[in-house]
Structure 1
Amino acid sequence: MRLPVKVILADDHTLVRAGLRKLLEAMCHVEVIGEAADGTAVLEMAHRLQPEIILMDIAMPGVNGLEATMRLKQDLPHIQIIILSMHQNEEYVKQALRHGAAAYLLKDAATTELELAINTVLKNEIYLSPAITKGVMVDYVQRLRSENAVDEVLTPRQREVLKMLAQGQSSKEIARLLTLSIKTVDTHRSQLMKQLDIHEVTGLVRYAIRVGLITSD
């Protein structure tokens, strides 16, 4: 007899999680073992509960879904992550796949797609909603994942500073939150601009969205 597939739901909307839970519990081979309302909570819960699948929203407070996916695939590569999103933008799809997601499902997809996506990722295959497959080549996934992307050479501190800059925080605010001097923060800013060859804050914002540090919401 097949054991139930253990699933965690990660979405900051309570009603969305409730609807997903109802759909999943109607599937005889699925067991929802936890719910998280933000990226930090899902990271902790995944380490503690060891699910087989996580249904992950992109736009969550704090650590967003793309960032959480990247961290989980580094620490717990056996967990399959299905991104649930309202965004049909090709860039989001590519970032999700590059960060290790096994599936990308639109929130307005048919309910039958959810079960199909689960069954597909359990076979270690990629699933994309039919509405977004145009322009997104599945055989491009491996190249995206193996790329030595520029963002991967940033230090953890640089990623923190970049994220805060992109969220509109001033050097003074960043210095206070990270317990740094304003001069140190300005140095990080200058190094980021030089390293990424981006010379204005608006460019840093676009870059942070592109690499999944923040969302455009």
Structure 2
Amino acid sequence: MTTGYTEHNKMSDVIASQPSLLQMISRFGIQLGVGEKTVREVCEASKVDTTTFLAVANVMKQGATAAGFYIDKIDMPTMMRHLESAHEFFLDFQLPHIRRKLLEAIDCSRQNEVAFLILKFYDEYMHEVRKHMEYENQHIFSYVKRLLAGEKVTDFRIGQYSSSHDGMEHKLQELKNIIIKYYSPNEGTSSDLLCYVLFSIYNSEADLRAHCDMEDSLFFPAVQLLEERIANNQFVSNTGAENEDGETLTERERQIVACVVRGLTNREVAEHLFISINTVLTHRRNISRKLDIHSVSGLTIYAIVNGIVQIDEVSLN
């Protein structure tokens, strides 16, 4: 493979060469302000596997042809965290944001059949994306975690999974055609907002297609390789060692745990520790991953047992 990104490139140069990577570094939990640091230095500081980062970046840059070099090299937990973060972005931010802007741009104040058809199509599209991503979150990633634990799963293979990417793209294409061909704003109404929404839909489509291509060319083949290694007794699970190291929280993570169990909101935690809300959310995801604890009640017990807080400091609301 040639002309790809390497661990020795400056992270700032990598981002500047392809602005679409801004979404990717956010999904890895990497913050801006990278200075003159190399890709490896930034990844190590953010506790991100460098090879997996480069795999995603180079597939985005060069397409599926770059994936073959990395299929047997990526760190699967890092890859899944990246994909889960992408799912959160699509479902909790990007798609709802576009819908809100779409409601502002089209005329829903009167009986406009085309306007309601546009909303209907968009809601159907959101439903398809949500169903697809929630299935992966709940079933595919759980299946891969079982494989990583060394379990020989006999009732499922990743090849049986149909990602239904084509169906999502077909519905979005139909939506764009309806807006372009059949919807006209009211007389005297600016079409700027509708054009902005349409442009956002195109960008969302490109982002989602890149995400799906990443799964098809890199993630699913890597899962198939993992299946083969387990079937041939060539895979040694190191889950125990990972958990032992992973349960050690950093000082910043301990501070965030203390704030959370004392009843502070994410915004209040950010203000108290002088960090961004995104940084708080990233730390909370890492804490949940390390401890396998996903509730405030569970964190409270952990914090008391490990001496992070005293029981009289805990919010009981």
- TM-score, structure 2 length as denominator? 0.21
- TM-score, structure 1 length as denominator? 0.30
Bigger Rg over Cα:
2
Which structure features the higher share of helix residues? 2
